[in-house]
A and B are shown apart, each in its own frame.
Chain A
Amino acid sequence: MAETMTAPAGTGHHAEHDDHAHVTNTGISNEKLGMWLFLGSECLLFGGLISTFLLYKKKLNTFPGFENTTVNKLGANLFDIPFTSVSSFVLLMSSLTMVLSVSALQRDDLRRTRLWLLATALLGSTFLAGQVYEFTAFVKEGLGFTTNIFSSAFFTLTGFHGAHVLIGIIILMTMYALSMRGRLSSRNAEALEIAGLYWHFVDVVWVVIFVVVYLIK
């Protein structure tokens, strides 16, 4: 029967009876289920940030004295929708390359795994670069982090997402390093799959943010 976290001594296969290698009640590995749970928790983090943003976007427009300020040309002039659409497309495409990378690893095709890993990280970095450019442009226009309640909420929400993308890129590069050291193979492809779960989540959150922040007037 399934014994959790045990292996008889002296079998000589200890590494394969690592505490990660036991059978679970749900049939889903601890790591994967843990990641799903963490992502569930992250939903509430972004939920809180998005609610804050929506509240303050509405409030600023009704706050006396702000109707005609330069920083209130929100949405209409400040957001460069075509630019952000392209960078959103770039980020969404990185989900595709992520899937290709996991699929290649499952087939033990390490060369393609690395190629697609790099592509994913590169697409993510492109998105981040776009965000840096956008932030800089806003600051030049006079909309800084401390300018008003809208700008604080905007930079915090998109900044949190950007930080998540950055962490994702670091995870991808760590995976790349592990694969270079021969520590990644089809046997532990699930590790890359879990990193992929995180990456897809960050992409999906961006879809929501893009709609809420940029598209809804």
Chain B
Amino acid sequence: MALVEREPLALPAGTGAGTAIEPLGVLARPATKTGWRSWVTTVDHKKIGIMYGVTAFFFFLVGGFEALLIRLQLAQPNGSILSADVYNQIYTMHGVTMVFLVIMPMAAAFANYLLPLQIGARDVAFPRLNALSFWVFLAGGLFLNSSWFIGGGGPDCGWFCYAPNSGVTFSPTHGVDFYSVGLQIAGAASLIGSVNLIITVLNMRAPGMSLFRMPVFTWMQLVVQFLLAFSLPVITVALFLLTFDRSFGANFFNVAQGADPLLWQHLFWIFGHPEVYILILPSFGIVSEIIPVMCRKPIYGYPFMVFSGIAIGFMGFGVWAHHMFASGLGPISVAAFSLSTMFIAVPTGVKILNWMATMWGGKILFNTPMLFSAGLVAMFTIGGLSGVTHAIAPADTQQTDTYYIVAHFHYVLFGGALLGLFAGMYFWWPKAFGHMLSDRLGKWHFWITLVGFNLTFGPMHILGLQGMSRRIVTYQPEDGFTLWNRVATLGVFIIAIGVLLFIYNMFHSYRTWKAAGRPNPGPDPWDARSLEWSIPSPTPEHNFDVIPEIHAQDDFWHRKYGEDERGRAVRVAATENVVQKGDAKGVHLPSPSYFPLVMAAGLPFIGYGVIFNRLIAIPGVLLFLVGIFGWAFEPATEPDDHHGDAHGSDGHGGDDHDGAAKATPATEEAPVG
């Protein structure tokens, strides 16, 4: 490792030390560390992670509401709650919202919050870019949803928006324009985030934290970020082509001019299949952290876990055409993609077996995070198995575009990704907010969700095999779909109860904690293994008082436990003695900035300009330019800005929803979060 102290690279900060540079008076750097200002200007990866989480949860409620409408419409034959047109918009936006605005950003929330902590870093590689990626994501999400109000309804082409359905002829409202531009903006956010997180992991690990000592969660997120970096540009191309077609009269998907509608399908799924792993691997990482902690055993076969994740990442780029078996690819392509799809099940199976081997013989603590993790292992296995059945092309041509597919990917994305994300919320909640979520309510939440989930999506396997087509607006009594559709609708309302219970749990746990005088759960409430548990809860703004030196995988665990002569874990040090106090003074951290927000705010206007009237784009471009040049000419860190001078100590801080500035001297008093 090169230990040369280099000169700063930052253009503006480099030589202008000492001179306060304020390019724009209104956007001068804020000094407060509480209140809304501290949130909109923050470059702290923890605050950004929390904002990602809150935003994703909001969109989760929106997408969930859309799911309820879909199920109400299908609850009985000849359903008349939604018109066919609105139904198309609702299922499209349900899919787009859940994929791009819920699971991806929720995984990004965990990545942002945890990656620097798990590798022993003070922040991500580019803190301001991190803020930018959040604001751009928010801009994209709001832009997409503004389609309901000013686009003449949502997009109505399904979440993968096949040509020529996406053309002006078949989709005359502005919905698809909002889809193409909105996803473009959200995609830019993910691309920025992926570059940032990859560089963070590659470059900013603590001394001794070699790649193969990193926690599995960090590894899976690293794979995900590589997948994002190399698959997003492909959908960027596809979305540009679609925008050009619709807004500028290009001919990319104009079949009358000889265009090939399969071009869209290829471009979309070359992105879209890696996307599937982008959605699931973070949850795989989360449960790979939780299961060893709750089973009191190290993860079984760590190198296999890591390499199978990498293998999934590579192979994920080679299976896209299994989404297109019914499109007439020709027997050779179909056979090749059949085989590659069966192969990719192998590393996934390795993971499932490793989790089970980790649980095997462990003293399993069945608390909420563990229940959700075990739920993921079981439910994802069902989804994975039904997925393998799609690899068999003859069967798949029968199942394509039926509810069997809908059942499959909900078992993977709800039973896999979402259960994993819930597990992660219960697990890391004390680290982020300084108090535990109620385990009793959490268990109710888990069992209600599990029952509701299986009632909703289990019957869809049957419906699909019976021949019920996906995206169909209604069905007839004589089709024989009525019973299982009723069950599915019942199930979705049980899921909704589970979600409400989770929301209640958040408030209830917070109030109970406050009423009890804000007791601190301590740095390590689960007796866990990775570095984030070696620092106080909630995480201090500067993360680590001293950057730890790493000697082994699960280094923190080995500081607490050794082995006796029979190989059993014995405590060698009390947790209090190995954790950091979080009271370091004068740690130098990057300063907050308005410019990421300003830049991101310009993007929706540029989008509206493309769709409606070019004049609207002018303020958008101006905002963008003010943002980017303000950024370039602003030092990354104020020369005299010290963070962490006065940190909230035990039993204090972490009150992230209570932004009221406390009457204290300005730069002192920095309640974390």
Contact = CB atoms under 8 A, between A and B. Distances in A.
A14 B637 contact: yes
B397 to A, nearest CB: 25
Interface stretch (A82-90, A99-107, A112-120, A148-156): A148-156
Given A18-B10, A21-B5, A21-B8, A2 B258 contact: no
Interface stretch (A22-30, A135-143, A197-205, A207-215): A22-30
Contact of B127 (A17, A19, A52, A190): A19
B199 interface: yes
Most buried by B among A17, A37, A63: A37
Interface in A162-193: 174, 178, 182-185, 187-188, 190-191
Most buried by B among A52, A66, A182: A52
B512 interface: no
Interface string A1-36: 111111111100111111111111111111101100
Chain B contact residues: over half helix, strand or loop, or mixed? Answer: loop
A15 B639 contact: yes
A188 B14 contact: yes
B203 A24 contact: yes
Contacts of A5: 121-123, 204, 588-590
A182 to B, nearest CB: 7
A201 to B, nearest CB: 13
A37 B198 contact: yes
Given A2-B207, A19-B123, A49 B237 contact: yes
B257 A149 contact: yes
A31 B6 CA distance: 13
Interface string A22-65: 11111111110110011011111101110010011001100100
A33 B8 contact: no
Interface in B241-281: 241, 244, 248-252, 254, 257-260, 263, 267, 270
Contacts of A147: 251
B635 A148 contact: no
A188 B241 contact: no
Interface in B2-25: 2-18
Given A6-B547, A41-B233, A145 B248 contact: yes
A160 B267 CA distance: 17
A68 interface: no
B122 A6 contact: yes
A29 B9 contact: yes
B636 A18 contact: yes
B440 interface: no
A147 to B, nearest CB: 8
B588 A188 contact: no
A66 B635 contact: no
A40 B230 contact: yes
Contact of B10 (A20, A60, A146): A20
Contacts of B258: 59-60, 63, 66, 148-149
Given A16-B8, A30-B203, A37-B199, A45 B122 contact: no
A8 B121 CA distance: 16
Contacts of B465: none
Nearest to A35: B195
13 contacts: A4-B206, A14-B17, A14-B640, A18-B637, A19-B637, A24-B203, A29-B9, A33-B203, A37-B229, A47-B234, A59-B260, A145-B249, A187-B8
Interface of B: 1-18, 121-123, 125-127, 191, 195-196, 198-199, 202-207, 229-234, 236-238, 240-241, 244, 248-252, 254, 257-260, 263, 267, 270, 547, 549, 585-590, 629, 632, 635-637, 639-642, 645
Given A25-B202, A66-B258, 9 more contacts: A2-B1, A8-B586, A10-B586, A34-B125, A40-B230, A52-B267, A149-B251, A151-B251, A156-B252
